[in-house]
Amino acid sequence: MYKDPNNAPTLPAYETSGQYAVWCCYCCRLHWHGAIPGHRRAHCTVPGSPYTTTGYVLDRAGPLTPALRKQYRDRRPERCRACGHQVSRLASERCMRCGKVLPAKRPGRVEVTA
């Protein structure tokens, strides 16, 4: 049930093997749907995700390429160090459950400067 379907955002949907992959910035992962454009119910696992009240509209954006897959894989969700809740850094700088500010990301291995 959508409380507010009129405010559903339109998201790019990437097609692969008869399915649409939609990046959810609240879950920090791809949601999978059958490859039919239109309004969908979000499969969000993050409490308080706005998509669970609005759903979203799938807009066909082309094939899910290996480059896109890698790009999305690099945005994996993180765990809050204080309470263990799964948090999405892209959606908020704070844990949605306990409010703790997320620590800075570890620097990449390649960033070695003298």
For Zn ion, the binding residues (CB under 5 A) are: 24, 26-27, 44, 80, 82-83, 85, 95, 97-98, 100
**Residue 20 vs 26, nearer CB to Zn ion:** 26
User: Judged by CB, which is closer to Zn ion: 13, or 80?
Assistant: 80
d(CA 55, CA 9): 8
Instruction: Show the tokens assigned to 104.
Output: 């800075």
| Cα 72 off chain centre by | 9
Cβ-based neighbour number of residue 55 at 10 Å: 22
Min CB(108)–Zn ion separation in Å: 25
| Of residues 11 and 68, the one with the C-beta less far from Zn ion | 11
Check residue 55 and give left, alpha or beta (phi > 0: left; psi -120 to 50: alpha): left
Rounded least distance, CB 15 to Zn ion, Å? 19
Residue 26 beta carbon to Zn ion: minimum distance, rounded to whole angstroms: 5
